[in-house]
């Protein structure tokens, strides 16, 4: 049974999709005004892992993640750089796609852009006004928070405590400082669209409400994003959807914790950030992905070189184990199978791995728990591999490991699991044949010490040499 922590109830709840086997999921995507930092990348990797686990569990997932391609940050940056907002968006959407590829994010079912949904936004704002939950002033439209008793339910923020200048914009046109903009009349140098109230542009919160509803219908199952989005962004999404459509838009709200530097939230505005680009340029891509999901998604994750070095070592340990298994498979393919106690033990370890991994991930996507299960298995695999007598169980080990690593977004090799590696097995066979030839040469030269040493050392690594009347042959122990 899968349990997920719902920010709305502040509890872990049993996960049950609203509609049979289908999970509808919306994750707030990047505002494409600059290079994403590694903190943004954490949010992307976390929700990709959650999606992958849901799919592994057997759900069909419709995964929507947007590009915020018009808002205050976009306009400020475009004006500063002297470029059109649309060109700025195109540049950083391309950059995001490159990063997404390197982090092995599964392509979303759809990546809508806010500017493609202006008509839908105008329609929603119209409904809010019609339902008496908003007001228009000089071409701007605001949401009237005082009309909504449940405002604050998601964030736990008491609306009475919100004062102007605290965490809400000050704007003398607002009836109440807590009210927020649904539509903003055009200012010089800003992109704008026609609407019944003014030529203007949507407020940021309106964009996500509308795109979620458009692609998923409401209510839908999961809405994700970083913890910084709980208030005001997601609180306001709930307010808008309930005011316009009379429904809570989302069943489960999931929020990732911050990636921090020296315990402070990584953020562009504070200047304490590393871009995803520079981190991916400096470290193995799989190690970066591993690092991003190595902590529990709701906990903070600190960014430092040490953490990335450790992630690199962890990925290396997995690769080494996989390589040894492949080597052993090719030896067994040449030499034939035999009965061995280790096979049974490995079979049990494989079952334990699957069971343990799924148990951990079913507890609110506990990736550190799942990863601990993987490494417990790797330790056993390293011990058992040289003792295993049949290739089948080793192939099963690789297949199981491959499937579970894929949930974490890790792919250990381009080779298909269990394919075997004919070139390395040829090299291995050739090397043993060569050693036996050298042993024969040593014997002919009466250098029996060297001949015996070769035989003994081969025995130590599991190769049994037998001298027959037709010359020496070898097989695996
Ligand atoms: P933005 O492009 O600023 O809209 O952010 C894209 C996503 O990254 C959002 O879900 C944010 O909540 C998330 N995010 C921003 N900063 C951090 C951080 N330091 N750690 C984790 N997630 C973050
Ligand atoms: Zn959003």
Cβ of 26 closer than 6 Å to ligand 1, yes or no, is no
> 223: CA distance to ligand 1 center in Å?
14
Q: Which residues are placed with Cβ below 5 angstroms of ligand 2, an ion?
A: 28, 208
Look at residue 417 and tell me whether its pLDDT is greater than 70: no
pLDDT tens-digit profile of 161-212? 765 445 566 678 899 888 999 999 999 989 999 999 999 999 999 999 999 9
> 285: CA distance to ligand 1 center in Å?
20
pLDDT tens-digit profile of 88-121? 999 999 999 999 999 999 999 999 999 999 999 9
Q: What share of the chain is helix, strand, coil (3-state, %, to 5)?
A: 50, 20, 30
> 40: CA distance to ligand 1 center in Å?
4
Pocket test for ligand 1, best of 36, 38, 39, 40 (most atoms within 8 A of CB): 40
Look at residue 414 and tell me whether its pLDDT is greater than 50: no
Please, which residues have CB within 8 angstroms of residue 224's CB and are 6 or more apart in sequence? 25, 26, 27, 28, 43, 46, 47, 50, 253, 254, 255, 256
Among 67-71, 76-80, 381-385, 414-418, whose mean pLDDT is lowest?
A: 414-418
Read off the pLDDT of each residue in 259-278 and give the average, rounded to a whole number: 95
Cα distance between residue 25 and residue 375, in whole Å: 30
Instruction: Name the CATH superfamily for 3-136+204-303.
Output: HUPs (3.40.50.620)
pLDDT tens-digit profile of 58-88? 999 999 999 999 999 999 999 999 999 999 9
Q: Rounding to the nearest 10 degrees, give the CA dihedral for residues 428, 434, 436, 438.
A: -150
Beta bridge partners of 180: 143
Cβ of 276 closer than 6 Å to ligand 1, yes or no, is no
Answer for the pair 276, 41: CB distance below 8 angstroms, yes or no. yes
Tell me 385's DSSP state.
Answer: G
Is CATH 1.10.3470 what the domain over 313-407 is classified as, yes or no? no
Cα distance between residue 55 and residue 49, in whole Å: 10
Q: Are strands 259-261 and 301-302 parallel, antiparallel or unpaired?
A: parallel
Query: For atom 11 of ligand 1, which residue has the closest CA?
Result: 226
What per-residue confidence (pLDDT) applies to 351?
98
Q: Which of 53-62, 139-148, 151-160 has the highest mean pLDDT?
A: 53-62
From residue 374, alpha-carbon distances to 285, 357, 368, 421 in Å are 19, 7, 10, 23
Tell me what percent of the residues of the chain surpass a pLDDT of 90: 81
pLDDT tens-digit profile of 277-320? 999 999 999 999 999 999 999 999 999 999 999 999 999 999 99
What per-residue confidence (pLDDT) applies to 170?
65
Cα distance between residue 33 and residue 93, in whole Å: 9
Domain ranges of the chain: 3-136+204-303, 313-407, 422-476
> 230: CA distance to ligand 2 center in Å?
10
> 60: CA distance to ligand 1 center in Å?
26
Going by pLDDT thresholds of 50, 70 and 90, the confidence category of residue 463 is confident
Q: Give the CA radius of gyration of the chain.
A: 29
Answer for the pair 326, 333: CB distance below 8 angstroms, yes or no. no
Beta bridge partners of 222: 25, 252
What per-residue confidence (pLDDT) applies to 168?
60
pTM score:
0.87
């Amino acid at each position: 049974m899968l349990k997920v922590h719902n920010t709305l109830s502040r509890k872990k709840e049993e996960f049950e999709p609203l509609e049979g086997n289908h999970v509808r999921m919306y994750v707030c995507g990047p505002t494409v005004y600059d290079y994403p930092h590694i903190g943004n990348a954490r949010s992307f990797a976390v929700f990709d892992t959650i999606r992958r686990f849901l799919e592994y569990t057997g759900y069909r997932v419709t995964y929507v993640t947007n590009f915020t391609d018009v808002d205050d940050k976009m306009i400020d940056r475009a004006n500063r750089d002297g470029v059109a907002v649309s060109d700025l968006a195109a540049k950083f959407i391309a950059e995001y796609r490159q990063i997404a590829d390197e982090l092995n994010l599964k392509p979303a079912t759809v990546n809508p852009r806010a500017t493609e949904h202006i008509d839908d936004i105008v329609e929603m704002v119209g409904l809010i006004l019609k339902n008496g939950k908003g007001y228009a002033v000089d071409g701007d439209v605001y949401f009237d928070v005082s009309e909504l008793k449940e405002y604050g339910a998601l964030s736990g923020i008491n609306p009475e405590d919100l004062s102007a200048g605290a965490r809400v914009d000050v704007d003398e046109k607002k009836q109440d400082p807590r009210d927020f903009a649904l539509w903003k009349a055009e200012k010089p140098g800003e992109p704008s669209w026609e609407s019944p109230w003014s030529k203007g542009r949507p407020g940021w919160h309106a964009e996500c409400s509308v795109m979620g509803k458009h692609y998923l219908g409401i209510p839908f199952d999961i809405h994700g994003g970083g913890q910084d989005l709980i208030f005001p962004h997601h609180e306001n999404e709930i307010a808008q959807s309930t005011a316009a459509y009379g429904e809570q838009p989302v069943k489960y709200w999931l929020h990732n914790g911050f990636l921090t530097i020296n315990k402070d939230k990584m953020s562009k505005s504070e200047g304490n950030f590393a871009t995803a680009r520079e981190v991916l340029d400096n470290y193995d891509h799989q190690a970066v992905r591993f690092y991003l999901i190595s902590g529990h998604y709701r906990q903070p994750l600190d960014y430092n070189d040490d953490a990335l070095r450790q992630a690199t070592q962890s990925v290396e340990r997995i690769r080494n184990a996989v390589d040894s298994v492949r080597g052993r498979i090719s030896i067994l393919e040449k030499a034939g199978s035999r009965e061995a106690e280790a096979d049974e033990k490995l079979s049990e370890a494989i079952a334990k791995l699957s069971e343990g991994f799924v148990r951990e991930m079913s507890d609110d996507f506990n990736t550190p728990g799942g990863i601990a299960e993987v490494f417990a298995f790797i330790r056993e695999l390293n011990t058992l591999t040289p003792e295993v007598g049949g290739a089948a169980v080793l192939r099963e080990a690789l297949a199981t490991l491959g499937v579970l690593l894929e949930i974490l977004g890790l792919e250990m090799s381009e080779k298909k699991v269990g394919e075997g590696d004919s070139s390395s097995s040829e090299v291995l066979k050739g090397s043993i044949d060569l050693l036996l030839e050298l042993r024969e040469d040593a014997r002919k030269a009466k250098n029996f010490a060297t001949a015996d040493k070769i035989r003994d050392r081969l025995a130590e690594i599991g190769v049994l040499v037998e001298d027959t009347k037709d010359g020496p042959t070898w097989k695996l122990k």
